[in-house]
């Protein structure tokens, strides 16, 4: 290695062991051969060190896009977008008592000032940075859906009317074999 290359080398702080990330940067910087069989990104003849670093960067970027768990309270106030317009905001959530699955979001409609339920499995996308959920149902369908009165918790007849209104299969009517059971 030439003196000039050493001067341009990466600065590594000697505060303990070299981190895997610093090791990858160093190998890519010097363009040396893959030399560690115990570290897949640094081993094997298939990838050069630069390619290994690029692949690791892509893997880390993909990992950062994996959704992380959220608190229920975080969604309160999120904007709700129907397929054709904004419809309101999330006020609360309804949980299933047996499996603790979110069954519905309580949506406060903007124009009609009603509380209606929209199940999260009808959601097309969640934008956590912008604080909004987009659903594949129309604004009119949400605004005219059965009203959730006061602080009432929905019972099965209410849920049946909701799913009938949206013409969606009822989550409780599906058996493991995929056949519909009676409601």
Query: How many domains would you assign to the chain?
Result: 2
Q: How many angstroms separate the CA atoms of 165 and 159, rounded?
A: 10
Please report which confidence band the pLDDT of residue 134 belongs to, taking 50, 70 and 90 as the band edges: very high
At residue 180, the pLDDT reads: 45
| Number of Cβ atoms within 10 Å of the Cβ of 128 | 13
Instruction: Give the integer Cα–Cα distance in Å for 69 and 146.
Output: 30
Cβ atoms of 110 and 57 within 8 Å: the answer is no
Q: Which H or E element spans position 27? A: helix 20-30
Report the alpha-carbon distance of residue 154 to residue 83 in Å, rounded.
25
CATH of the domain at 141: 2.30.30.240
Dump pLDDT digits (tens) for 102-131.
888 999 998 888 888 999 888 999 888 899
- Do residue 126 and residue 89 come from a single domain? yes
The DSSP secondary-structure symbol of 65 reads: T
Domain hosting residue 127, numbered range? 72-173
């Amino acid at each position: 290695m030439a003196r000039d290359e050493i001067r341009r080398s990466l600065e590594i702080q000697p505060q303990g062991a070299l981190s895997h990330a610093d090791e990858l940067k160093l190998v890519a910087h010097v363009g040396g051969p893959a030399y560690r069989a115990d570290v897949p990104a640094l081993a094997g003849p298939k990838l050069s060190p630069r390619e290994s670093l690029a692949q690791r960067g892509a893997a880390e970027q993909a990992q950062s896009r994996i959704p992380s768990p959220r608190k229920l309270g975080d969604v309160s106030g999120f904007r709700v977008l129907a397929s054709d317009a904004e419809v309101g905001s999330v006020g609360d959530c309804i949980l299933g008592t047996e499996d603790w699955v979110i069954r519905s979001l309580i949506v406060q409609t903007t124009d009609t000032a009603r509380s209606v339920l929209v199940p999260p499995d009808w959601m097309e996308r969640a934008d956590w940075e912008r604080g909004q959920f987009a659903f594949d149902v129309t604004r009119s369908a949400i605004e005219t859906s059965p009203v959730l009165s006061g602080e009432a918790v929905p019972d099965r007849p209410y849920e049946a009317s909701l799913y009938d209104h949206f013409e969606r299969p009822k989550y409780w009517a599906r058996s493991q074999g995929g056949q519909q059971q009676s409601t």
